[in-house]
Amino acid sequence: MIYKKLPEPFRKNPYVNKWIEILKYKIGLRCSGLLLEYPYYDSEYLSSYYQYYIKKFNVYGKESCRIHFIRESTYCGYITVSPIVHYWNLSKSYLLPELLLEEKAFLMLSDFEANVFGSLQKVAAFPWMNQQRDFSMCAHVAAWSIMKYYGNEHTGYKDINIGDIVDSVPEYTNRKLPSKGLNFQQMAEIFREYGISPLIVKKEKGHEEQFYQELLCYIESGIPVIAAIDKKSHVVAVIGHGDMDYNILHEKQGLIDSSCCITSIIVNDDNVFPYFPVSRKLKDGGTDNGYAMADIDFILVPLYNRVHQEYSVLYEKIIDYLETGNLNIAEDSVIRVFLASANSLKRRALQDKSMDQLLKDILLRLEMPKLVWCVEISSKDEYKNRMVSARMIIDSTASPGASTPWLFVHDRGKIRYYNAGKWYETLHKTEAYNMYQHNLKEVEPWK
């Protein structure tokens, strides 16, 4: 059906039947209607057309088409089909994750607009496209998807296209086009070009669990991460994680990092449709696209440039602080570490009816930088119910060598906070309150 409706130039692509079959299998009966828009002038494809394809002897068209997906009265997003014929020809695409997920997931999503035959629609999605092989490779697409997300979700970042990404690649090692892929240093330069301070983390032998903890901490912070899989010579954008397995907590004792309950990550991989789950270890049946979390060798974290406290240094300070008995917490406590904006943290506190009023008042008046590190501490039962009984807020702009970057700490009986250059302490009994969950959106798949 889709194949017959596609304009004739798009049917020349030898891969078109394959992605149509995959699309039918993935979406199936979840979609009740399709709209095909042609011609559509896609800014992403046009950026590659004017930089590269217009210079070729063979003629490449400028017109793309879009396939819009509808579920009854819900607009579910679109896929763009470009006129290239040498590789997969799916360009800029925004799809509701409910269409593609098989299990519950926690994702970074932003509301993108689409003009559908004069009607302005919004779709909560994460950007995705296929690589074009000669113009853009997996690394370009991963960087593009993150920058596109940042440009739409946060103020202060430019809305850029794939042509901008390719053009910003440093040319001191090789020419930009035809593309031969990027190394991590080149990817880092792309982010620096747009005002982001990238952090590169390598998985060290014997410290694999710490590496996964750091990766998942940044995901819990709502920061999309580029992950490199050396055995596949491939990179993907990590944009969320799967459901929690709380049964794992029964096996743990002492201070327990919450990341142990996360058994899969969600990636946007340009070789498969978006919101692709990747488990910690390869499953039987070949459903993992040939790699697992255990195969990730490096991550690149696009950090806000004023975040000076990095996770690896900070985590040791947090554990030292808790192990010395500074907070009255349960012996087997679950700790969850993440970055959050001060405004969002305060807004959620104001809305939380379960939070103690004095605790709320102090938090709302606390002076904080734009982004803060937050440590939430729960008993095992509290964590299963998404509740928190102790919390630490940490200055993300503090120097790595700062021994006490804390701004606010409390347990069930005491509140300490730092304001206007002074420390204050209040003895006050508090009850457990709701966990902060604003960085990621919880999504259930449609049946």
- Give the tens place of pLDDT for each residue, 333-377: 999 999 999 999 999 999 999 999 999 999 999 999 999 999 999
**Alpha-carbon span 446 to 38, nearest angstrom:** 29
199 and 334 in a common domain: no
52 and 80 part of one domain: yes
- What average pLDDT does the segment 74-78 reach? 96
Asked, for residue 445, whether it belongs to a domain, the answer is: no
Q: Is the peptide bond before 302 cis (omega within 30 degrees of 0)?
A: no
Q: 134 lies in which domain range?
A: 2-303
Residue 203 has pLDDT above 60, yes or no: yes
Please enumerate in sequence order all residues whose Cβ is within 8 A of that of 381, keeping only pairs 6 or more positions apart, or say none: none
Instruction: Give the model's confidence band at 38: pLDDT under 50 very low, under 70 low, under 90 confident, else very high.
Output: very high
Three-state DSSP class for residue 120: strand
Confidence at residue 405, expressed as pLDDT on a 0 to 100 scale: 92
Task: Give the separation between CA 43 and CA 91, rounded to whole angstroms.
Answer: 10
Domain boundary among 255, 284, 303: 303
CA–CA distance, 2 with 24 (Å, rounded to integer): 9
In a domain, 115, yes or no: yes
Per the structure, the count of domains in the chain is: 2
Mention every residue, 6+ apart, whose C-beta is less than 8 A from residue 274. 93, 95, 97, 100, 125, 126, 128, 268
Find the length of the chain.
447
CA 139 to CA 271: how far, in whole Å?
A: 12
Domain-located, residue 385: yes
> What does the buried/exposed string (b/e) look like for 166-193 if buried means 16 or more CB atoms within 10 Å of the residue's CB?
bbbbeeeeeebbebeebebebbbbbbeb
| pTM for this predicted structure | 0.94
Q: For residue 443, is it within any domain?
A: no
Peptide bond into 83 cis (omega under 30): no
- 89 token code pair: 């020809």
Tell me, yes or no, whether 267 lies in a domain: yes
Mind listing the pLDDT tens digit for each residue in 139-181? 999 999 999 999 999 988 888 999 999 988 876 656 777 777 7
- Does residue 343 lie within any of the structural domains? yes
Q: How distant is the alpha carbon of residue 345 from its chain centre?
A: 19
Final residue before a domain boundary, out of 303, 328, 352 = 303
Query: Do 104 and 7 share a domain, yes or no?
Result: yes
User: Amino acid letter at 127?
Assistant: P
Is residue 446 a part of any domain in this protein?
no
Region of poorest pLDDT, from 63-72, 113-122, 275-284: 275-284
Residues 131 and 225 in one domain: yes
Asked if residue 290 and residue 379 are part of one domain, the reply reads no
Q: Please tell me whether residues 117 and 203 are part of one structural domain.
A: yes
CB 134 within 8 Å of CB 177:
yes
Same domain, 371 and 290: no
187 lies in the same domain as 114: yes
pLDDT at position 287 over 60: no
Claim to verify: residue 239 and residue 341 sit in the same structural domain: no
Q: Do 191 and 78 share a structural domain? A: yes
In a domain, 404, yes or no: yes
Same structural domain, 315 and 296 = no
Q: Does one domain contain both 169 and 213?
A: yes
Question: Which residues have a Cβ under 8 Å from the Cβ of 41 and sit 6 or more positions away?
Answer: 62, 63, 64
